[in-house]
């Protein structure tokens, strides 16, 4: 073994001699250098250890804690007179002196106190509200705070400009995600929010703001519902559903207040509580942000996984339905009347009057005489025969046949999402006189109220897995069917409505309403005995009949337009149909 060691030494000297030879050393210099290197001891670089400390205070005055920390950080500490109370600090491991300042800041924040730096050697301890109000560090922008500020966790103010959110709507959400000591001010006019608090908390809120707020129309950073987390705050960007609706649903879910309660009791050897009603529960803590269509959830990792699984099943694309409706309403009025009235004596002192004389004005009450021109007021065919003798016998014959047909045809079309209510109103407002008065100048002042007429359609579709569509439908048709046209009279309105729930196939056309009413009225006025004579009885009687028929039919055809190809085809068909009607209308005007 000694021989091997000797050979190693000799080999090392030979190697060094070759290097020195190539470097231009002489033989004598080589020998001196080798001997010096053989005698020179090896040097080892020693890195000094960082100083550490241990602070253990159990129910001690906070002034004693600050006295000890003053010696460790090497700064003078002045305390406000409101800084009082006891504190408990347990330090099982030694803490580096470089972390002492941040450690002290965190401990004081727990007790509601903060630090204000006067200069390099002097700091003041005051209530945390005063410390935040006197924050000297102000940042503008959306970038997180620098690392050197986060280490000391000093009071900081951050002015964050918003891109698409309204400050007054975002500020309440951020306030729910932080402590009461952090101040958040919304400034809608400048489209920014101002956050003041300890740097760690301010930095967290700035990151949350960047996740929630974005440019209008900007693609979200997280297009699915996997979410992004900052501590116990999780932000989900929804893709299909509306955040307000999801928020209302999730808030109804109750979860155990301590998700690890059963697991901990079982692990400790005690029997686990199997009664679910005995476990305290709490609602999910979620907040909706409308502008970015996001959900902000506050909870631990286990609750986070639960909410993430729920959102994966709830935030899914919904089908959409186009409902075509054809409304046909037909009203027919048929009336006919035939009769003869007799008058005898000047001024009609003796007469058979079935109503024709009064309507016609045949008798002039002012001159107490018969005026044949009065029959011009009667409709239909009228014939008056007058004997100008002393008896003044007159006969008035009237025959009238009247037919009115009134039709309303409407074809509204509405597109909506599955389980989403849709409504369309097409019509106008008709004035109705509600009162009148006369002013001092004898001018008549009328008061009007406007009532809507037209077509109203409201429906909510529900699509099943086998493409069956359940429609919760409300249909209303209001129209004006009568009115004299006089400014002093009111029109007559017709109203037809239908409310139902039906189930149909995709693209199936069905009729859901056939409201039919038939009104018949027949009047006969005659002279007793004479009016009963066959054939000749028509000379002494008047008969009239009125019949009104009303028919309302509603046809519906739903189309599921989830697939783009089908939606494009329906759209093209409707465009072609409208263009065809437009061209036909133009040709008819030429």
- Tell me, what's the pLDDT at 345? 65
Tokens 């009279």, residue? Answer: 489
Distance between alpha carbon 300 and the CA centroid of its chain, in Å?
Answer: 28
Q: Above 80 in pLDDT, residue 356?
A: no
Which is nearest to 348 in space by CA: 377, 382, 372?
Answer: 372
User: Of 398, 400, 390, nearest to 370 (Cα)?
Assistant: 390
Q: Is the pLDDT of residue 415 over 80?
A: yes
With 70 as the cut, is the pLDDT of residue 289 above it?
yes
User: What phi and psi values does residue 509 have, to the nearest 5 degrees?
Assistant: -100, 125
pLDDT of residue 515: 66
What percent of the chain clears pLDDT 90, i.e. is strictly above it?
A: 4
> In terms of pLDDT, which residue wins out, 50 or 579?
579
Whether 92 and 55 have beta carbons less than 8 Å apart is answered as no
User: How far is it, in rounded angstroms, from Cα 49 to Cα 96?
Assistant: 10
* Structure tokens given for 439: 């002013």
Say if residue 374's pLDDT is above 90: no
pLDDT at residue 361 in the model: 67
Dihedral pair phi/psi, residue 461, rounded to 5° = -90, 150
Residue 265's pLDDT is what?
A: 41
Weakest mean pLDDT among 190-204, 273-287, 420-434 = 273-287
Phi, psi of 138 (to 5 degrees): -125, 130
d(CA 433, CA 484): 13
Instruction: Yes or no: say if 241 and 419 are a contact pair by the CB < 8 Å rule.
Output: no
**Is residue 227 helix, strand or coil?**
coil
| Distance of alpha carbon 207 from alpha carbon 187, whole angstroms | 19
Which tokens is 566 given? 């089908």
What average pLDDT does the segment 57-64 reach? 82
Note whether 449 and 490 are within 8 A (CB).
Answer: no
- Spell 416-449 as b/e; 16+ CB within 10 A means b: bbbeeebeeeeeeebeeeeeeeeeeeeeeeeeee
Range in 4-18, 145-159, 345-359 with the lowest mean pLDDT: 4-18
Is 585 or 75 the better-scoring residue by pLDDT? 75
In sequence order, what are the beta bridge partners of 424? 457
Q: Is the pLDDT of residue 433 over 70?
A: yes
| Mean pLDDT, residues 520-536 | 83
For residue 106 the two structure tokens come to 């965190």
Residue 258 tokens read as 């301590």
Q: Which pLDDT does position 488 carry in this prediction?
A: 58
pLDDT, greater one: 335 or 395 = 335
C-alpha distances (whole Å) from 36 to each of 90, 351, 569 are 56, 163, 97
**Which residues 6+ apart lie within 8 Å of 136 measured at CB?**
117, 155
3-state secondary structure 260-294: CHHHHHHHCCCCCCCCHHHCCEEECCEEEECCCCE
Name the residue among 505, 506, 502 with its Cα closest to residue 562. Answer: 506
As a whole number of angstroms, the distance between CA 195 and CA 187 comes to 11
More confident site: 460 or 331: 460
Rounded distance between C-alpha atoms, residue 453 and residue 481, angstroms: 11
pLDDT tens-place string over residues 152-169: 667 778 888 888 788 888
Which pLDDT does position 10 carry in this prediction?
45
Q: Which is higher by pLDDT, 211 or 418?
A: 418
Six token digits for residue 88: 């408990």
DSSP letters, 450-492, are: EEEEEEEEEEEEEE-TTSEEEEEEEEEEEEEEE----TTS--E
Cα(155)–Cα(125) distance, integer angstroms: 12
Mean pLDDT of the chain: 76
Give the model's pLDDT for residue 18: 40
Q: Is the pLDDT of residue 300 over 50?
A: yes
Q: What's the mean pLDDT in 208-229?
A: 62
Q: What is the pLDDT of residue 373?
A: 62
pLDDT at residue 250, rounded to an integer: 87
Task: Work out the pLDDT band at 84, boundaries 50, 70, 90.
Answer: confident
User: What's the sign of the alpha-carbon dihedral 243, 244, 245, 249?
Assistant: positive
Rounded to the nearest angstrom, the gap between the alpha carbon of residue 378 and the centroid of all alpha carbons in its chain is 62
pLDDT at residue 112, as a whole number:
78
| Model confidence pLDDT, tens digit, residues 234-248 | 888 888 888 888 888
pLDDT of 469 reads 92
3-state class (DSSP) for residue 330: strand
pLDDT at 566: 79
pLDDT recorded at residue 422:
92
Q: Quick one: which of 79, 131, 70 has its CA closest to 104?
A: 70
- State residue 590's pLDDT score: 66
pLDDT tops 70 at residue 423: yes
Supply the DSSP symbol for 532: G
Average pLDDT over residues 433-454: 84
pLDDT band, residue 33 (cuts 50/70/90): very low
Regarding beta strands 122-127 and 76-79, do their DSSP bridges make them parallel or antiparallel, or are they unpaired? parallel
pLDDT at position 568 over 60: yes
pLDDT confidence band for 207 (50 / 70 / 90):
confident
Q: Is the pLDDT of residue 12 over 50?
A: no
- The Cα–Cα gap between 109 and 410 comes to 70
Model confidence at 482, in pLDDT bands (50, 70, 90)? low
pLDDT(460) > 90? yes
pTM, 2 dp = 0.51
- Contacts with 384 (C-beta within 8 Å, 6 or more apart), sequence order: 362, 372, 375, 394, 395, 396, 397
To the nearest whole percent, how much of the chain has pLDDT over 70?
Answer: 75
Q: Flag whether pLDDT at 119 surpasses 60.
A: yes
């Amino acid at each position: 073994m000694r021989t091997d060691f000797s050979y190693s030494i000799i080999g090392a000297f030979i190697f060094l001699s070759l290097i020195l030879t190539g470097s231009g050393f002489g033989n004598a210099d080589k020998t001196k250098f080798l001997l010096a290197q053989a005698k020179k001891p090896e040097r080892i670089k020693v890195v000094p250890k960082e100083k550490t400390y241990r602070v253990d205070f159990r129910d001690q005055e906070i002034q004693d804690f600050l006295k000890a920390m003053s010696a460790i950080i090497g700064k003078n500490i002045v305390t406000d007179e409101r800084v009082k109370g006891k504190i408990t600090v347990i330090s099982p491991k030694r803490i580096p002196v470089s972390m002492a300042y941040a450690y002290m800041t965190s401990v004081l924040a727990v007790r509601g106190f903060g630090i204000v730096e006067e200069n390099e050697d002097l700091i003041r301890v005051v209530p945390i509200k005063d410390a935040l109000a006197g924050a000297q560090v102000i940042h503008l922008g959306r970038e997180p705070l620098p690392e050197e500020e986060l280490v000391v966790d000093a009071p900081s103010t951050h002015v964050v400009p918003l891109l698409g959110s309204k400050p007054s709507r975002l500020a309440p959400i951020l306030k729910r995600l932080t402590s009461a000591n952090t101040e958040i001010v919304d400034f809608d006019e400048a489209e920014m929010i101002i956050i003041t608090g300890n740097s760690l908390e301010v930095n967290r809120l700035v990151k949350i703001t960047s996740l929630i707020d974005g440019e209008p129309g900007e693609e979200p950073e997280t297009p699915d519902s996997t979410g992004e987390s900052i501590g116990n705050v999780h932000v989900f960007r929804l893709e299909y559903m509306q955040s307000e609706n999801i928020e209302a649903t999730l808030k109804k879910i109750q979860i155990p207040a301590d998700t690890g309660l059963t697991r901990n009791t079982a692990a400790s050897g005690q029997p686990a509580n199997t009664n679910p009603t005995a476990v305290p529960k709490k609602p999910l803590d979620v907040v909706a942000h409308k502008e970015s269509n996001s959900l902000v959830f506050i909870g631990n990792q286990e609750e986070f996984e639960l909410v993430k699984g729920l959102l994966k099943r709830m935030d899914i694309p919904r089908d959409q339905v186009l409902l075509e409706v054809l409304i046909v309403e037909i009203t027919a009025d048929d009336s006919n009347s035939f009769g003869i009235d007799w008058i005898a004596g000047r001024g009609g002192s003796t007469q058979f009057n079935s109503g024709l004389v009064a309507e016609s004005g045949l008798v002039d009450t002012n001159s107490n005489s018969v005026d044949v021109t009065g029959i011009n007021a009667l409709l239909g065919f009228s014939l008056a025969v007058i004997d100008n003798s002393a008896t003044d016998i007159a006969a008035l014959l009237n025959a009238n046949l009247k037919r009115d047909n009134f039709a309303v045809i409407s074809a509204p079309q509405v597109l909506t999402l599955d389980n989403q209510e849709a409504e369309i109103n097409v019509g106008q407002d008709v004035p109705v006189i509600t009162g009148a008065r006369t002013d001092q100048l004898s001018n008549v002042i009328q008061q009007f109220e406007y009532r809507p007429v037209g077509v109203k359609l409201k429906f909510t579709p529900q699509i099943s897995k086998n493409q069956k569509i359940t429609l919760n439908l409300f249909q209303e048709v209001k129209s004006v069917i009568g009115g004299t046209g006089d400014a002093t009279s009111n029109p007559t309105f017709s109203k037809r409505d239908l409310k139902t729930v039906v189930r149909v196939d995709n693209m199936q056309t069905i009729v859901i309403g056939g409201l039919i009413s038939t009104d018949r009225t027949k009047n006969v006025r005659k002279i007793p005995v004479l009016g009963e004579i066959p054939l000749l009885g028509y000379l002494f009687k008047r008969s009239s009949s009125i019949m009104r028929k009303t028919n309302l039919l509603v046809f519906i055809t739903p189309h599921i337009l989830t697939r783009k190809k089908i939606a494009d085809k329906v759209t093209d068909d409707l465009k072609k149909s409208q263009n065809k009607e437009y061209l036909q209308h133009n040709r008819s005007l030429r």
